Structure 1
Amino acid sequence: MGEIVLARVDDRLIHGQVMTKWAKGMNTNSIFVVDNATASDPFMKDIYMMSTANSGMTIKVFSTDEVVEYWKNENFGKYRAILLFKSIAAVKEVIDKGLPIKKLNLGGIAKKKESKFILPNVAVKPEEMEVLKEISGKDIEVFFQIVPDTKYVSLKDALKSY
C-alpha cells in the first residue's frame, strides 16, 4: 500500500526546492501534482511528467477527483508520495472526499490582495486561514515552512500573529 508522506500547497508546483529538499529529504519516490487546470492541459501535464525524467522520481498529474479515485482504487500502489497543490481550496476538496492527509505544508503562496505573509513567500487570505483551521480540526498537522531546514510555523502560532 502506498502512503501520502506530505501534502504541500505551492503555487509553483514542481521546482528545485520541492525536488531537492522535500522529496529527497522525506524518502519519497513520487510527486503527485493535484491541479484541475494542469490535469486538463495535455501540454502542461507532459511538461511536469517529463521534468524529472532523470531523477528516479515518478511524477503523476491528477485532477482532484482523479487523485481521490486513485487512492480509493489503488491506495497509491507502491508510491510514497508528496501531493502538490496550487490552492488551499483544492486540498480541502480532496480531504472532504476522503483522502487521508496527515500533514499539510504551506510553502509557496504568492501575495494577493487581502493576503498576509506568514513567512516570506507564503501569504494567506483571511478566508483561507478559516479553511486551514477547519482542516486542522480533522487531526491534520498544518504548518508553514519553505524547506525542511528553515523556520517551522505551526498553524496555532500563525494564527496568533495573523
Structure 2
Amino acid sequence: MGKVVLARVDARLIHGQVMTSLSKSAGATAIFVADNPTAYDDFTKNIILGAGSRTGLKVRVLKEDGAVRYWNDRQYDDYNVILLTKSIEVMAEIIKGGVPIKNLNLGGIPQKPGLTSIIKEVSIDKNQLDILVDLRDNYGVNVYFQAIPSSRKVSLEEAERMFD
C-alpha cells in the first residue's frame, strides 16, 4: 500500500524545488500531479512527465477526481507520493474524497488583490483559510506554509491570527 508522504499546493506544480529538495526530504518515490487543465493538455502534461522522468521518480498526471479514484482502487500502489495541486480547493476535495493526508504544505500561491500574504510565496483569502481550518479540525490534517524545507515554517494557527 502506498501513502502520501507530502501533499503540497503550489500553482507552479512541478519545478526545481519540488524535484530536488522536497522529494528528497519527504522520501518520495513518486510525484502525482492532480490538475484537470494539465491532465487535458498534452503539451503541458508531456513537459511535466519529461521533467519528472529525469529524477528517477515515477510521475503521474491525474485528473483531480482521478487522484481519489486511484487511491480508492489501488491505494497508490507501493509509492511514497508527493501529491501536488494548484489550489487549496482541489486539495480539499481530494482529502474529502478519502485520500489520507497527514501533512499539507502550502508552498506557492501568488499574491493577488484581496489576498493576505502568509509567507512571501503564499497568499490566501478568508474562504481558503476556512477550508484549511476545516481540514485541520475535521480531517486531522497538519497544515503549514513553507516554500522550501530550509525556509521558516508558518503554522495554520499563525496564519489564522493574520485574519483577526
TM category (shorter chain) comes to: over 0.9
1:113-133 Cα shifts (integer Å, max 9, x gaps): 210110011111111111111
Aligned to 1:32: 32
Task: Give the deviation of 1:53 after TM superposition.
Answer: 2.1
Query: Which range is displaced more, 56-65 or 46-55?
Result: 46-55
Distance in 1 between residues matched to 2:81 and 2:127, nearest whole Å: 28
Distance in 2 between residues matched to 1:7 and 1:155, nearest whole Å: 15
Aligned to 2:160: 159
Q: Which structure 1 residue ranges, 5 or more long, are not aligned?
A: none
Distance in 2 between residues matched to 1:78 and 1:92, nearest whole Å: 23
Report % sequence identity.
41
Runs (4+) off by over 4 Å:
none
Aligned to 1:130: 130
CA contact (8 A) 1:114 1:126 kept: no
1:6-36 Cα shifts (integer Å, max 9, x gaps): 1100000000111111101211111101111
Q: TM-score, with normalisation over the residues of structure 2?
A: 0.95
Number of aligned residues: 162
Tell me the amino acid that sits aligned with residue 30 of structure 1.
A
Q: CA RMSD in A?
A: 0.9
**SS of 1:24's equivalent?**
helix
Distance in 2 between residues matched to 1:2 and 1:152, nearest whole Å: 26
Query: Which range is displaced more, 80-89 or 46-55?
Result: 46-55
Aligned to 2:118: 118
1:34-87 Cα shifts (integer Å, max 9, x gaps): 111111112211111111222111110011111111111111112100001100
Q: TM-score, with normalisation over the residues of structure 1?
A: 0.96
